[in-house]
Amino acid sequence: MERKASRRENEYEEKTSNSESSELDKDYKTTLITLNVGGYLYITQKQTLTKYPDSFLEGIINGRIMCPFDADGHYFIDRDGLLFRHILNFLRNGELLLPEGFRENQLLAQEAEFFQLKVLSEAVKSRWEKEQLGSRETTFLEITDSHDRSQGLRIFCNAPEFIAKIKSRIVLVSKSRLDGFPEEFSVSSNIIQFKYFIKSENGTRLVLKEDNTFVCTLETLKFEAIMTALKCGFRLLTSLDCSRGSIVHSDALHFIK
């Protein structure tokens, strides 16, 4: 009798355990939501979509807003499927995080308004305004002779962060060329000043010594500037002084994105 009772107790415990496990699995599955946004499928948790009360997504999940279903039974939202990943990332992270070079601020702002996410809409608009302001501010980098400012190169660009990047790149190249002679150039603000800028029969060159050992030409620096700009997605708008013909002979370069 004791064995039978024990067996029944074990069977009951197993059934109870299986029932609880089944209920947990069921509850877990109901927290996962699949959305079809413009043909792109996104799977996320219910609490993510309901993070902001009174938003469009929260209304759908809680039944306040009617939403059609696709053929597979997923919620279907007729919006930009690619941009929705930024909406979803905002819901997950609680802040606006966009990839470098993102240029669809206006479209994203419209999507944020559609999904009734006021905080995101304001963040996108603020980012957009800063970019618009930055695009109107042209910054420059001047590479010049510390004794004769007419000898050198000026680089203009409407992106301050690019000027900072290209400045660090040119300094890095210059240091490698001027190894052992760090006192031969100085950097301050947006100006890099070299010493020993001289005119020779071959054109303007930067040399370490009067005997021309260890030569670094201005043309090298210009090519470094151009290649860095192209790698960063900028284009050479124009040479501001085309009177000399070739780009490498110009006194200024103007980049824009």
pLDDT of residue 218: 65
pLDDT digit string (tens) for 143-195?
776 666 666 778 888 777 888 887 877 776 666 554 444 446 677 777 777 66
Average pLDDT over residues 193-208: 50
Average pLDDT over residues 136-149: 69
pLDDT of residue 93: 93
pLDDT of residue 182: 41
DSSP structure string for 131-178: HHHHHH--EEEEEEESS-TTSEEEEEES-HHHHHHHHHHHHHHHHHHT
CB 81 within 8 A of CB 40: yes
Average pLDDT over residues 240-247: 53
CB 153 within 8 A of CB 91: no
User: Which residue is listed with tokens 């980098």?
Assistant: 141
Residue-range domains of the chain with CATH: 17-134 (3.30.710.10), 140-256 (no CATH)
Using pLDDT thresholds of 50, 70 and 90, give the confidence band for residue 211.
very low
41/200: higher pLDDT: 41
pLDDT digit string (tens) for 10-61?
555 555 555 555 554 444 445 899 999 999 999 999 999 999 999 999 999 9
Q: Which residues pair with 76 in a beta bridge?
A: 36
- Residue 35 burial (10 A CB sphere; 0-12, 13-18, 19+): buried
pLDDT of residue 120: 95
pLDDT of residue 48: 95
Q: How far apart are CA 254 and CA 155, in angstroms?
A: 6
This model's pTM is above 0.75 = no
Mean pLDDT of the chain, nearest integer: 75
Share of the chain above pLDDT 70, in %: 62
For the chain, the C-alpha Rg in angstroms (whole number) is 31
Q: How far apart are CA 88 and CA 79, in angstroms?
A: 13
User: Residue 79 pLDDT > 70, yes or no?
Assistant: yes
pLDDT of residue 51: 94
- Could you give the residue ranges of the DSSP H alpha helices within the chain? 2-30, 46-49, 56-61, 84-93, 105-114, 118-136, 160-177, 218-231
